[in-house]
Amino acid sequence: MDLELVSVDGGDSHVITAASVNIGRDASNDIAIQKDLLSRRHAKLSFVDNEWLIEDLNSTNGTSVNNRQINRPTKVKAGDVIKFGETAYYLKNTAEDGRTIVASRLPQKDTSAGGSVVIDDEPEGDQTSFQQSYQLPSGWTNVARPNSAYTKEAVDQVINRTIISKQLTPDVVLVFYVNETRPLVYGISAKKNDAFWTIGRGQDVKVRVDDPSISTQHARLVYKSGEWSLEDVGSTNGLRVDEEACSKVVLHDQCVVSLGRVDMVFRTFAQK
């Protein structure tokens, strides 16, 4: 079977070890997920006739597959995203490397090339809570994150708590909003001209962003002739600026680029 249920927000994961598993908030389930919007017995994942099926067990807040609410047993496979209430997981084939999830399946999130990289990851009843209106997420092409998250003041607060507090002086800073409360901060120093840094979810990249919408090798940050740019390297979900897909972006201070469903803010450190 070789299947694993993995949180899309990089939290918990559960290896599927039986042909039928119950999922819910109660500790007696095969997979217990302690979230208020999950019912005690929320859903069941079963392996039947060489196929995986997910079934909602009359839960309060419903189950969806790839942003579509289900009302009968539904086929699922590795790469599909399942939401239990408002908690989203994707299915991973443990016999393979984790594949990049097509971003439209993911729920909308709320709110050695000549350099050095600094990484900082910032901190973040008995009855089922009822979600009054079950709204399907709009998908990655229509993300509406509050503008206040990306103002110069808001981004600089994040940089002050990480880069500046450690008395570091990089040339530029990248702030990745993997989620609203845990921005990922990278300081980049260009030691020579014509330098580059790979960005992706894989283990062998210089700038690692662990989100299922990010490809193993997603993009390349380039410094050449005094100019910074970001280039797509054949990723699944690409680069977007102002909702427009692009293969290369010339970066300027406070530029916002979306990689899959993750937004990146580029800050020129010398201008802070």
Q: What is the mean pLDDT of residues 68-76?
A: 93
| pLDDT of amino acid 143 | 41
Give the integer Cα–Cα distance in Å for 259 and 247. 11
Count CB-CB contacts under 10 A for residue 45. 23
pLDDT confidence of residue 249: 96
Over 60: is that where the pLDDT of 144 sits? no
Average pLDDT over residues 260-266: 92
Q: Over range 73-89, report the average pLDDT.
A: 90
- pLDDT at res. 197: 94
pLDDT (0 to 100) of residue 64: 93
The runs of H, that is alpha helices, within 5-94 are none
pLDDT higher than 50, residue 116: no
**pLDDT value at residue 103:** 67
Which of 39, 207, 194 is CA-nearest to residue 116? 207
Q: Where do we find the tokens 């390349």?
A: 220
Counting DSSP H helices and E strands in the chain, the numbers are: 1, 23
- The pLDDT of residue 136 is 30
The type of residue at 123 is P
Q: Could you report the per-residue pLDDT of 26-53, keeping only the tens digit for each? A: 999 999 998 878 999 999 999 999 999 9
Q: What is the arithmetic mean of pLDDT over 233-256?
A: 92
Range of weakest confidence among 22-31, 103-112, 125-134, 231-240:
125-134
Residue 160 has pLDDT above 50, yes or no: yes
